[in-house]
């Protein structure tokens, strides 16, 4: 039939009859059967007819395989399989697609409401929409997407819109989120059971939009169960669920992180207020009580940071948005002063308490190391890191010089951590101080050995000298104290030793940092007195006389009125009255007369006579301000040297950016430093535009 020539070639007629057979069968058998059935029964019959049709197409296309190989290939007609499928699509599918779609949606909604359905039936029905797209003129998925998926997504939106509007009124925020998460899980499973895989993203987007996006603000701000309440009540599981849900929503985490930031800020600000109130109420009492409140404040701050950092790491899975919110929140209250004391000083005092002997923290080495790590994290939020460094340096100096450091290992450990966090420049001076103390011990050993070879040089007084490098240590007030003969011999003996070991090095004696052990021969019993070098020099004056006037003491010691008054007050008006004063009152005047109190006694055989401390806070702040001016000058010159010409605003912003890691420069100060650099011919203003600067080489 197909290989003959001329009028006997029936190939094309055979191809047409092949198509006619399908059309006749569909019109006479398939369509009448489907028209009588509805909903689930219609789907069952449709699937049965479709399976029969596929079987019929497969066998007939095999019988007439010759047509596919030669005739159809030559004429560019649709293949036998495509022709068979097209017949079903044009005659059955086009008539039945709306009914089939509606029947499927009814079953899906039934399952959403908790009913039992035949999932295999649904899968086979949905597969018809996909299969009939093959061989079409457009994409394979067009029929599925246009005739089934789009209406199904609209139906899903309507279904969850109704549900969400009801749940948002009736349920708490946690209950609503549980339902929303469960719905999303079920819809995802639904895709795997009977929908096409390409539908998953679109379907979940629709559900998320109706359940979460539409009601984001209402859900997060629910009066008694919203995000703020979950944070307040430590509802970790609910917060984790909130993160998982809103992570799916475009920009959905923004309001959550904003609420998180506000909550942490309010918690921290409350701690600051409580600390201020506690310090204010104790202002009239002892200073160490005030210090205890500040110490407790830092511990609460560390606990607060641990708590919310744990939230960020676990509930919010280390998301950068929440790290940023935590940082911004802590920067707000970590830079507030407490009763006039800056956060930098409070943090430095806390570290000092950890590191000194007899501090309030009685912890193991591991616990102290862990505390250091927490303090370093907190330091990252403090703007005035240079002020913290200067206070740390002052306190480190006192610990090292007065042997109050609990452990050299701990000192080096915190310096290492600070170096990693803030850079080598931050800790270089403090590292030099620790090294100085190690070298000083070696010097002391050599000094003692020096006397074994030079016995005549020994001053007959035990002497310990600590040699410090000027650049590393804080600046201290030096005075031309006139030393008594016994002490002067000690100084000369060390000068002789030091001169024999070093060349071209000048020693500057800082007597204010020294201490002495004296034996006071009082009537009742001798008592060992631990005093400062200044106090010792004053007391030794009474070895030669019983009574001295204020003016005589001042002349013999060669000190200022402030220093003399402070010394005499500590020895005659404080707890230990080693000197008697005439007149007997609590104030020191230039007309007072002092005599040795031979009747003084105490239950202890050794006592430390304290000297009223000088508040160094003002000097530290002045030193830091001075260093900041130098840092701003250096930054401005460095920027202009590289850029040559730059506008005022851009220069200021680049300077702030460069110095931001150590402190936050004041714009007014930067402007003053620019004017100063102009006056010193480092910069000049542009002749045409005064807001533009030029660098002068």
Q: What are the tens digits of pLDDT across the range 447-474? A: 888 888 888 777 778 888 999 988 899 8
Full strand arrangement of the beta sheet holding 645-647: 645-647, 692-695, 683-685
The CA-atom distances, in angstroms, between 226 and each of 231, 249, 253, 254, 266 are 9, 18, 14, 15, 16
d(CA 387, CA 626): 11
> How far, rounded to the nearest angstrom, does the alpha carbon of residue 692 sit from its chain's CA centroid?
38
- So what's the pLDDT on residue 80? 66
> With contact defined as beta carbons under 8 Å apart, do 439 and 467 qualify?
yes
> With contact defined as beta carbons under 8 Å apart, do 240 and 227 qualify?
no
Closest by CA position to 345, among listed 390, 388, 386:
388
**What Rg value do the Cα atoms of the chain yield, rounded?**
45
- 296: exposed, middle or buried (C-beta count within 10 Å: 0-12, 13-18, 19+)? middle
d(CA 134, CA 148): 16
* Phi, psi (rounded to 5 degrees) for 152: -65, -40
* Tally of helices (H runs) and strands (E runs) in the chain: 30, 9
> With contact defined as beta carbons under 8 Å apart, do 301 and 334 qualify?
yes
140-154 b/e (C-beta count within 10 Å ≥ 16 → b): ebebbbebbbeebbe
Q: At what angle do helices 533-540 and 561-572 cross, to 10 degrees?
A: 80
CB under 8 Å to 494, separation ≥6 — which residues?
447, 463, 465
- So what's the pLDDT on residue 1? 47
Structure tokens belonging to residue 312: 């960020």
d(CA 23, CA 30): 10
C-alpha angle with apex 611: 553 to 566, nearest 5 degrees? 40
Structure tokens belonging to residue 20: 């006619």
Cβ atoms within 10 A of the Cβ of 492, count? 13
> With contact defined as beta carbons under 8 Å apart, do 515 and 402 qualify?
yes
Cβ atoms within 10 A of the Cβ of 94, count? 12
> With contact defined as beta carbons under 8 Å apart, do 484 and 537 qualify?
yes
**E strand or H helix at 288:** helix 287-310
Structure tokens belonging to residue 320: 């950068």
Residues of the chain with pLDDT under 70: 1-15, 63-76, 78, 80, 134-139, 282-291, 359-362, 697
- So what's the pLDDT on residue 262? 95
Structure tokens belonging to residue 358: 């007899």
Dihedral angle sign, alpha carbons of residues 23, 27, 31, 33: negative
Closest by CA position to 308, among listed 291, 328, 293:
328
d(CA 421, CA 399): 23
- So what's the pLDDT on residue 697? 67
> With contact defined as beta carbons under 8 Å apart, do 597 and 579 qualify?
yes
- So what's the pLDDT on residue 5? 56
Question: C-alpha dihedral over 185, 187, 192, 195, to 10 degrees?
Answer: -170
Domains of the chain plus CATH, in order, are 6-213 (1.20.1310.10), 253-422 (1.20.1310.10), 514-608 (3.30.230.130), 617-695 (1.10.10.10)
Cβ atoms within 10 A of the Cβ of 575, count? 9
């Amino acid at each position: 039939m197909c290989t003959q020539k001329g009028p006997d070639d029936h190939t094309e007629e055979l191809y047409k009859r092949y198509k006619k057979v399908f059309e006749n069968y569909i019109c006479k058998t398939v369509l009448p059967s489907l028209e009588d059935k509805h909903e689930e029964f219609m789907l069952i019959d449709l699937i049965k007819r479709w399976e029969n049709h596929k079987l019929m197409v497969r066998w007939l296309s095999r019988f007439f395989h010759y047509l596919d190989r030669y005739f159809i290939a030559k004429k560019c007609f649709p293949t036998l399989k495509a022709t068979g499928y097209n017949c079903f699509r044009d005659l059955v599918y086009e008539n039945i697609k709306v009914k089939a779609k509606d029947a499927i949606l009814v079953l899906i909604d039934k399952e959403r409401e908790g009913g039992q359905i035949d999932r295999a039936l649904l899968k086979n029905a949905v597969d018809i929409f996909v299969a009939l797209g093959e061989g079409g003129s457009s994409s394979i998925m067009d029929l599925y997407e246009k005739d089934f998926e789009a209406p199904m997504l609209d139906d899903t939106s309507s279904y969850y819109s109704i549900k969400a509007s009801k749940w948002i009124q009736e349920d708490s925020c946690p209950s609503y989120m549980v339902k929303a998460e469960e719905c999303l899980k079920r819809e995802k499973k639904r895709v795997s059971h009977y929908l096409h895989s390409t539908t998953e993203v679109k379907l979940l987007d629709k559900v998320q939009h109706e359940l979460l996006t539409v009601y984001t603000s209402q859900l997060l701000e629910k009066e008694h169960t919203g995000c703020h309440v979950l944070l307040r009540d430590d509802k970790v599981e609910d917060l984790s669920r909130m993160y998982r849900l809103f992570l799916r929503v475009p920009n959905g985490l923004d309001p959550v992180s904003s609420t998180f930031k506000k909550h942490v800020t309010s918690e921290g600000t409350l701690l600051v207020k409580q600390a201020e109130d506690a310090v204010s109420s104790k202002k009239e009492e002892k200073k160490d009580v005030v210090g205890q409140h500040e110490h407790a404040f830092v511990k609460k701050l560390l606990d607060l940071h641990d708590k919310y950092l744990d939230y960020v790491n676990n509930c919010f899975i280390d998301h950068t948005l929440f790290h940023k919110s935590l940082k911004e929140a802590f920067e707000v209250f970590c830079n507030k002063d407490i009763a006039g004391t800056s956060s930098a000083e409070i943090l430095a005092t806390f570290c000092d308490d950890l590191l000194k002997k007899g501090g309030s923290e009685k912890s193991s080495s591991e616990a102290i190391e862990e505390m250091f790590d927490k303090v370093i994290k907190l330091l990252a939020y403090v703007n005035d890191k240079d002020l913290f460094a200067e206070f740390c340096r002052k306190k480190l100096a006192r610990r090292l010089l007065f042997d109050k450091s609990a452990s050299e290992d701990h000192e080096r450990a915190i310096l290492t951590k600070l170096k990693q966090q803030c850079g080598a420049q931050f800790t270089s001076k403090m590292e030099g101080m620790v090294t100085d103390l190690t070298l000083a011990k070696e010097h002391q050993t050599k000094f003692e050995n020096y006397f074994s070879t030079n016995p005549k040089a020994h001053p007959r007084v035990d002497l310990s000298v600590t040699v410090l490098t000027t650049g590393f240590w804080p600046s201290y007030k030096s005075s031309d104290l006139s030393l008594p003969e016994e002490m002067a011999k000690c100084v000369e003996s060390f000068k002789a030793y030091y001169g024999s070991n070093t060349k071209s090095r000048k020693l500057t004696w800082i007597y204010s940092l020294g201490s002495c052990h004296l034996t006071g021969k009082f009537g009742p019993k001798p008592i060992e007195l631990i005093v400062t070098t200044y106090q010792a020099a004053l007391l030794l004056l009474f070895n030669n006389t019983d009574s001295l006037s204020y003016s005589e003491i001042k002349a013999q010691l060669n000190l200022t009125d402030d220093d003399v008054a402070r010394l005499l007050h500590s020895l005659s008006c404080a707890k230990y009255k080693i000197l008697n004063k005439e007149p007997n009152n609590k104030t020191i005047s230039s007309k007072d007369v002092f005599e040795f109190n031979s009747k003084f006694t105490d239950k202890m055989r050794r006592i430390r006579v304290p000297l009223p401390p000088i508040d160094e806070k003002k000097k530290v702040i002045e030193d830091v301000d001075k260093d900041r001016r130098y840092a701003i000058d250096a930054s401005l010159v460095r920027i202009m040297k590289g850029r040559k010409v730059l506008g005022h605003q851009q220069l200021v912003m680049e300077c702030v950016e460069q110095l931001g890691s150590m402190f936050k420069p004041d714009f007014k100060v930067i402007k003053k430093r620019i004017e100063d650099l102009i006056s010193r011919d480092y910069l000049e203003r542009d002749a045409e535009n005064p807001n533009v600067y030029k660098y002068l080489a």
